[in-house]
Structure 1
């Protein structure tokens, strides 16, 4: 769940926080315009079970699970009281299995080197009612699945997420809020509640959280280096159109996953507007299922993926310091 605006949520100290409320607090990282990231999860086992005799059970070993992401955000309206942000994203993930052959489990052979893509557009609207109260509306549409440029059909792959939130700015160092998301954090589209809690305790320590989706303890070593420790829930839903039996006997398959990552993260300025981040930790899948129809509750295949460590790197652009200093 996301209550905060991707490009403006960090509430830079340049804004007069005593005049208009916002979700961010002092000490949070800078707002981001463009983000490029890559995660790798190596060497873990997978066990699959199905009650359908045509599909059967399987076991395998995944050498690599790669995740790549590019996001860009731009303010269409950027006034002290009202902000309208437009964002685009392109994400993909792929599985590389060990020792596949013609007799290997059908799902594994299909997923091998298959790019599961997500191409999205979002619009977020943040409005401050006064110096204490604010609300956020975000609408996001994504094309999620195994499509290529030759077979893409918007109606077949479109997934929609809506966020609504209302919050209170207690002080420049303390912000809370409540909200709802209609989305895919736990795989299947449904309504999920959330509680925003952002608080800076002193010059070095703070907490950033949208519970239960994520929580991070922040340590500000200095203005150019930040450290985090916490967890993050991640979920996805992909529509699959398989052309080989036995999976091709099911017209509209849907792969849903939910996992939790315990993480350690460092963010560091490279040069003024350019930052990088390194993140690592342990990922445990909560649920990984293939369904016989999009939106169905009937599980065709239940996958059990072993927990594994992961590492990620990220580059992102932030507003140049000379730009923000003009607004002081």
Structure 2
């Protein structure tokens, strides 16, 4: 209930941003004169998104070479994730777009049958709020009707902080994306890019290939390989279906007090997982949509490191695969804005 209340407060705080978000026309309207990554048939731009994800009941095993920690195993009763995201255009010209974004995420683990003798890491993570508060600035520039580039800067506070102990310098993490693309036709765009970020847990540079293509009024592909790939089916203008996969990663700075981990001071939890998914997006009313997504999540890496940015593993966690379900509610530009701009 506390987390739902927090989401409600956050939603209310973001409500004043809605008019600015809804004023943003779909990218597709400028395709004839200015290039952009979007293609015909893609879903509408999402201005404000509220998301909840749940993974039920799966096991994990932990190993450490440090004799003070040892090995452990346990059962996670549920794994919850909450998120709120809002995007608002600071500059919204056909050739140039500057988008400001805000995001709040919360991740928590609930274990089965913990007691005072349970593994220290599990006791610390039990019902612990691993949070991420982020602000981003994205710049999309159309060079011509065929070429475009994108720059995105993002700063996040990631970790187990609270209002009482937050220190920005201890939790700040930065991500930078750059991309250059070619708009071949209104139905086909490709691009190449680099990200300096945390998709694979530790901050590093990795490449990406953009491939968006609509083959006919019903079928299309949306992908930034290797991070994600989705096959799209447009049932009609109000209902879209997707299937594909998505890579996700995170890095949290934590201070595990009141356990044996406290001896190490500030440590870092890094995770990378891959999700196979199916998804449906459906209009509720004009500017209000919802989405339901489900699939299977498999962790690629889930590890604790002895200090921030270190390559020395303190604990290696093996989390079992599990099904998941996710629901979203989001706002998109209303039709009247599209009709007015045409």
In 1, Cα distance between equivalents of 2:166 and 2:287 = 36
Equivalence for 1:296: 310
In 2, Cα distance between equivalents of 1:314 and 1:200 = 24
In 1, Cα distance between equivalents of 2:26 and 2:48 = 17
Q: Does 1:55 align with 2:46?
A: no
Q: Does 1:126 align with 2:140?
A: yes
Root mean square deviation, CA, Å: 1.3
Equivalence for 1:115: 129
Q: 1:138 to 1:315 in 2, by over 3 A?
A: same
Equivalence for 1:3: none
Matches within 5 A, 1:2-151: 12=26, 15-151=29-165
Question: Which 4+ stretches in 1 moved above 6 angstroms?
Answer: none
Matches within 5 A, 1:124-203: 124-203=138-217
In 2, Cα distance between equivalents of 1:255 and 1:296 = 11
Equivalence for 1:4: none
Of residues 240, 243, 258, the one that matches 2:257 is 243
In 2, Cα distance between equivalents of 1:40 and 1:126 = 34
In 2, Cα distance between equivalents of 1:41 and 1:246 = 28
Q: 1:210 to 1:11 in 2, by over 3 A?
A: farther
Of residues 228, 233, 240, the one that matches 1:219 is 233
Offset from partner CA, 1:171-212 (integer Å, 9 cap, x none): 000000000000000000000100000000000000000000
User: Unpaired segments of 5 or more residues in structure 1?
Assistant: 1-6
In 2, Cα distance between equivalents of 1:203 and 1:286 = 36
User: Unpaired segments of 5 or more residues in structure 2?
Assistant: 1-20
In 1, Cα distance between equivalents of 2:275 and 2:256 = 30
In 2, Cα distance between equivalents of 1:198 and 1:89 = 25
TM-score normalised according to structure 1 size: 0.96
Q: Deviation at 1:14?
A: 5.3
Secondary structure at the residue paired with 1:27?
Answer: coil
In 1, Cα distance between equivalents of 2:25 and 2:182 = 14
The number of residues matched between the two structures is 321
Equivalence for 2:301: 287
In 2, Cα distance between equivalents of 1:325 and 1:87 = 26
Of Structure 1 and Structure 2, the greater helix share is in 2
